[in-house]
């Protein structure tokens, strides 16, 4: 019998799903704020992560063999130490495809139809018909990070009659994209786009990738959307690009630093839309993570390689 610890609240229905899949295991579901090291001491599988328990999980006193992260990104986890301890790590990559792709289009539609200004005017009780009113049809979207979210976004873009450009490490084509570029061709992709969407994970290769030069490679009328990681963007360079008119606007859900300080210049920019790192939030999140976990659990029980989102420590995701 193994012990599986979930560091979050689960509904009775969700607990029953897990118990049905692991009838001989001990299942513990306890919110991280209430959990103690004793709860984790003899856990073979931990679902979720908290820095509160990081040192303990990495210590010899913790018997964990597999961690299922609750987030899609694992860049904030101690990957080197987990690898040294020979802990299997799986991410929740894929759970965000629908909400984040829809959030990307919320930004795009708002900017296209000048809704971001209309909302500001409404709060001031101001009737103002001025502004630029465009349409997405016929525009080109460059999606930097053509994974699950990127593919989902490309499908929506095609439904709006947009041209789809993708950027991925391999540069290999995907059906959802009209054109695919490698990361070495990033500047070329940026130069043809009306909208640039950053969905990259944080790695040593992507840290600070969007800098002054990258914004200069974009069209002056282009919109930049970041739903990936804040630290893949040099924030000061983004601010300068917006102030100087190097790019036309930005829809931002992630930041460096985060939370964004109250006195940061991005808050007061009329051509910027800000959301507080909520693009992936939705009411189906837990169920979708459980779908990933239960698929992997079946393989784990049979001694097979975990089939969904097994992190490659050498690449960092």
Active site residue 184: no
pLDDT at 275: 98
Would residue 306 count as lying in a domain?
Answer: no
pLDDT tens-digit readout, 4-32: 999 999 999 999 999 999 999 999 999 99
pLDDT tens-digit readout, 128-146: 998 889 999 999 999 999 9
- Per the residue annotation, which of 168, 214, 229, 234 is the catalytic one? 229
Residues 54 and 108 in one domain: no
Q: Which residues of the chain fall below pLDDT 70?
A: none
Active site residue 9: no
Residues 188 and 255 in one domain: yes
DSSP 226-241: E-S-GGGB-HHHHHHH
pLDDT at 73: 86
Residues 101 and 90 in one domain: no
Residues 82 and 135 in one domain: no
Give CA–CA dist 267/274, Å, rounded.
Answer: 7
Domain that holds residue 119: 97-274
Active site residue 137: no
Residues 81 and 131 in one domain: no
Q: Structurally, how many domains does the chain consist of?
A: 2
Give CA–CA dist 213/53, Å, rounded.
Answer: 40
Residues 150 and 264 in one domain: yes
| 8 A C-beta contact, residue 260 and residue 266 | yes
pLDDT at 271: 96
69: region left, alpha or beta (phi > 0 left; psi from -120 to 50 alpha): beta
Give CA–CA dist 302/103, Å, rounded.
Answer: 39
| Non-local CB neighbours of 65 within 8 Å, separated by 6+ positions | 44, 45, 86, 87, 88
Would residue 308 count as lying in a domain?
Answer: no
Residues 111 and 245 in one domain: yes
pLDDT at 284: 94
Would residue 14 count as lying in a domain?
Answer: yes
Strand order in the sheet with 272-274: 179-182, 163-168, 140-144, 195-198, 223-226, 249-252, 272-274
pLDDT at 200: 95
pLDDT at 69: 97
pLDDT at 315: 85
Would residue 315 count as lying in a domain?
Answer: no
- The conformation of residue 279, written as its DSSP 8-state character, comes to T
- Taking the alpha carbons at both ends of the chain, their separation in whole angstroms is 30
CATH of the domain at 168: 3.40.50.720
Give CA–CA dist 63/57, Å, rounded.
Answer: 8
Would residue 63 count as lying in a domain?
Answer: yes
pLDDT at 288: 95
pLDDT at 269: 97
Would residue 192 count as lying in a domain?
Answer: yes
Would residue 251 count as lying in a domain?
Answer: yes
* CA proximity to 216, closest of 244, 255, 235: 244
Residues 56 and 88 in one domain: yes
- Per the residue annotation, which of 44, 102, 188, 258 is the catalytic one? 258
The CA-CA-CA angle for residues 261, 266, 270, to 5°, reads 140
- Per the residue annotation, which of 169, 207, 264, 277 is the catalytic one? 277
pLDDT at 61: 86
Residues 40 and 181 in one domain: no
Residues 121 and 265 in one domain: yes
Residues 88 and 102 in one domain: no
Residues 288 and 167 in one domain: no
Buried b (16+ CB within 10 A) or exposed e, 82-110: beebebbbbbbbbbbbbbbbebbbbbbeb
Would residue 296 count as lying in a domain?
Answer: yes
């Amino acid at each position: 019998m193994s012990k599986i610890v979930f560091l979050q609240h689960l509904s009775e229905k969700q607990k029953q799903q897990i118990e049905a899949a692991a009838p001989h295991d001990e299942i513990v579901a306890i919110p991280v704020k209430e959990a103690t090291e004793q709860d984790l001491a003899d856990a073979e599988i931990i679902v979720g992560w908290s820095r509160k328990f990081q040192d303990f999980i990495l210590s010899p006193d913790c018997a964990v063999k597999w961690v299922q992260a609750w987030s899609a990104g694992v860049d904030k986890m101690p990957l080197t130490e987990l690898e040294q301890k020979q802990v299997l790590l799986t991410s929740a990559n894929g759970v965000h495809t629908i909400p984040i792709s829809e959030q990307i289009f919320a930004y795009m539609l708002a900017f296209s139809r000048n809704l971001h200004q209309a909302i500001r005017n409404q709060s001031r009780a101001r009737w103002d018909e001025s502004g630029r009113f465009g349409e997405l049809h016929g525009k080109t979207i460059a999606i930097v990070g053509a994974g699950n979210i990127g593919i989902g976004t490309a499908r929506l873009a095609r439904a709006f009659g947009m041209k789809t450009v993708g950027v991925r490490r391999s540069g290999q084509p995907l059906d959802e994209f009209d054109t695919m570029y490698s990361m070495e061709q990033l500047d070329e992709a940026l130069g043809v786009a009306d909208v640039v969407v950053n969905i990259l994970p944080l790695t040593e290769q992507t840290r600070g990738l969007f800098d002054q030069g990258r914004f200069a490679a974009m069209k002056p009328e282009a919109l930049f959307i970041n739903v990936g990681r804040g630290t893949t963007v040099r924030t000061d360079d983004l601010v300068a690009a917006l102030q100087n008119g190097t790019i036309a606007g930005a829809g931002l859900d992630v930041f460096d630093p985060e939370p964004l300080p109250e006195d940061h210049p991005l808050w007061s920019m009329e051509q910027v839309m800000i959301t507080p790192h909520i693009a992936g939030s939705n009411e189906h999140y837990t169920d979708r993570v459980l779908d990933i976990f239960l698929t992997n659990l079946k393989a784990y029980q049979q001694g097979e390689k975990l089939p969904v989102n097994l992190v490659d420590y050498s690449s960092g995701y």
